[in-house]
Structures are given as C-alpha cells and as structure tokens.
Structure 1
Amino acid sequence: MTAGIDTPDRRGRTGLDRHGLGLTGNPRVRVREVEVLSCDWYVLRRTTFDYQHRDGHWSREQRETYDRGDGATILLYDPERRTVLLTRQFRLPAYVNGHPDGMLIETAAGLLDGDSPEEAIRREAAEETGYALGAAEHIFDVFMSPGSVTERVHFFAAPYTSATTTGGGGVAAEGEDIVTVELPFPRALAMIREGEIADAKTIMLLQWAALDGPFGPGRQSGNAPE
C-alpha cells in the first residue's frame, strides 16, 4: 500500500497516479503511465507518454511534473497617488540559485486551496498586506513554467487606499514574514530595469499597468480603469 495512491497521504489524497490518464484533447499524445515520485506536500510525478511528431512518427517520452496546485496574484495600485503596493519576503529557491539575499519584491500571491481565483487572491492580499481591495479586475491566466510545473496563475489588479490597512504580514504559522513596499509607479518600473524586481509575475503586472492598465497611455492621473 502506498500513501497518495492506495491509502491517503498526509493531505488525505489518493489516486495521485491517475492524473493525466484518459486525456483525449490531443490525439498526438497518448499517456501510458503515471508514477508518483513524491507527495510529501505537493506532488512530483513522472509521466510516460507516446508523442506523434509532425512527420508522423511516434516516440516514447518521459517528463517529470511538479504539481503544487493553481495560484493567483494581484497588483494593488492607487490611481490618485500613482503608487503600487508590493510585498517583500524571503524566497529560498531564489536564494540558493544566485539571488543575493533571497528577499524578493513581489505582488501579493498565493495558492487557490480550493477557493475561486478571486476569493483566493482577496484572502491572500488581506493576509499579506492588510489592505482591503476595491473591485478586482481579472487580467489574464498564465502557465509560469510549463516545462516542468503544472501551476496556472490567475492575474488580477485592484485599487487600494491607504485608509484600509488592517495588519498583514502573512500567516505566522506558515513561517511567513512579509512586509509591504509602497512605491511610486515610475520607481517600480525602474527597479525592473535595475534588477531590484526580479519576480516574473510582478514584472508582468507592472508592465500591464504601464501598457493597458491604470498608468497606461491616455490614462489621466486619478482615473482608474473602466
């Protein structure tokens, strides 16, 4: 008996070796076997599949995928003061891969954990920043690392005001130690060019804000997006 397959793992899951079996959306892909390599918290799988190439021949392939669930992120902005509200927290994977101190400046984000994307990001924004959100605008959905990670991230933006803070800092029981960083929007863009902001989701939302969002061409100061 194997946890996560025949018996529940510590998150109560079974059948983790059936993920991807029976997919029919792409006739050039035939999933043959799914092996669970680890399910300590998230799930690492090795999938064997047959793939038909453009010239018609088939090959047998194997890929490892890391499944941590889907997530959501949000850019908080103040159209009146032309500022954005970001977070700073320690990220071990970045630290061990060459970031000077692992302290990344990011948009608020988190996993869905069974909630809808908007419900999840309102929860995460409140936990991380302590600020209440205005009307949230859905921007786009993105596979952030499709070569190995299954996660799809739902991107949002919403206004905030300095009068709505209620704490924040993250969930202490989960080891979070998050501080908020309020920046003038031009400074945030400059920090991308200077390498001070190196988080992909944050760069994408800041560039959206400059091109099509609240600080885009034709937007007068103080006007939020329609």
Structure 2
Amino acid sequence: MTAGLDTPDRRGRTGLDQVGRDLTGNPRVRVRDVRLLSCNWYVLRTTTFDYRHADGRWSTQERETYDRGNGATVLLYDIARRTVLLTRQFRYPAYVNGHADGMLLETAAGLLDDESPEEAIRREAAEETGHAIGEVEHVFTVYMSPGSVTERLHFYAAPYDSTTRASHGGGIAEEGEDIEVVELGFDHALRLVRDGGIADAKTIMLLQWAALHGPFSPETEDLSR
C-alpha cells in the first residue's frame, strides 16, 4: 500500500499516478506510464511517453512534472498617488540559487485550492496586504515554468486606497508566513526592475503591463486627466 496511490496521502489524495494517462488532445503524444515520485504536499511525477517528431519519427521520452496546483496574483495600484502595493518575504529556493538574502519583492499571490481565481486572489490580497479589494481586472493567464511545473498563474490588477485597508496583513502566522507590506512609487518600482531590486517574474510582468497597457500607461493617464 502506497500513500497517494491506493491509500490517502496527508491531503487525502489517491490515484495520483493516474493523472495524464487519459490525455488525447495531441495525436503526436502517447502517454505510456506515470510514476509517482513524491506527494509530501505537492506532487512530483515521472511520465514516460512516445512523441512523434515533425519528420514522422517516434521517440520515447521521459519528463518530471511538479504539480503544485494553479495560482493567482494581483497588482494593487493607486492611480491618484501613483503607487503600487507589494510584499516582501523570504523565498528559500531563490536564496539557495544565488539571491543574496532570499527576500523578494512580489505582488500578492497564492494557490487557488478549491476557489475560483478571483475568490483566491481576493483572499490572498486580504491575508498578505490587509486590503479588501473590490472589482479585479483579469490581465492574462500563463504557464510560468512549462518545462517542469504544471502551474497556470492567473494575473489580476485592482485599485487600492485608504478605504480598502481592512487589517495589517502580513500573511497567516500559523502557516509560517512572515510578510512585510511595501508601498512603492510606480516609477521607483520600475527602476528596481531595471537594477535587479525586483527579481520576481510575476511582479515584473504585472509592472510592465501596468506601464504599457494598464493604469500607468500613457493612454490611461491621458484619459484620467
């Protein structure tokens, strides 16, 4: 009996080796086997499949995939004050891979679990920044690391101001979160992107969107005058 296969793992899941076996969307891919490597909290699998190349040749390939579920992130902005609200928290994977102290400036984000993306991002914004945001704008949905991680990340933007502040934020202490809320001038945030002070991909993507097409784009700012 193996946890995650025929007996529940710590999250109550079974049959984790069945994911992907029934895929039929691409006739050039035939899944042959799926092996569960780990389900300590998220799920690591090795999948063996046959792949037909453009020249008609078939080859057998193997890929590891890391399944942590899907997520959502949101850029909170104040047009009147020309500011954005970010978080700073310790990220061990970044720390062990060369980031000086592992403390990253980021947009609020989290996993969906059983919620819709909009529900999840409102919850995460409240937990991390302390702001109860209202209407959110969907920006795009992307695969952040498609070579190995299955996660799709839903990107949003939403306004904030003094009236949306509902708590101090900071994350959930019981889950080990220790999050600092950081308000930055938008132009300062863009400078931090250029000099490496902001090194988180989702945050950079949303800041660039805000500058090119979002609340701080020339077109939007002209309309607000």
Q: TM-score, normalised by structure 1?
A: 0.97
Change (3 A) 1:39 1:156: same
* Structural mapping, 1:1-226, within 5 Å: 1-165=1-165, 166-220=167-221, 223=224
Letter of the structure 2 residue corresponding to residue 46 of structure 1: T
Cα deviations across residues 75-120 of structure 1 (Å, max 9, x unaligned)? 0000111100000000000000000000000000000011000000
Asked if 2 retains the 8 angstrom alpha-carbon contact of 1:142 and 1:153, the reply is yes
Cα deviations across residues 103-154 of structure 1 (Å, max 9, x unaligned)? 0000000000110000000000000000121310001001000000000000
Asked if 2 retains the 8 angstrom alpha-carbon contact of 1:33 and 1:49, the reply is yes
Range moving further from structure 2, 94-103 or 213-222? 213-222
Cα deviations across residues 40-86 of structure 1 (Å, max 9, x unaligned)? 10000000000000000100000000000000000000011110000
Give the CA RMSD over aligned residues.
1.2
Q: Describe the SS at the equivalent of 2:30.
A: strand
Q: Identity of paired residues, percent? A: 73
Runs of 4+ in 1 over 6 A off after TM superposition: none
Q: Describe the SS at the equivalent of 1:126.
A: helix
Extract unaligned runs of 5+ from structure 1. Answer: none
Q: Describe the SS at the equivalent of 1:163.
A: helix
Q: TM-score, normalised by structure 2?
A: 0.97
Shift of 1:221: 7.0
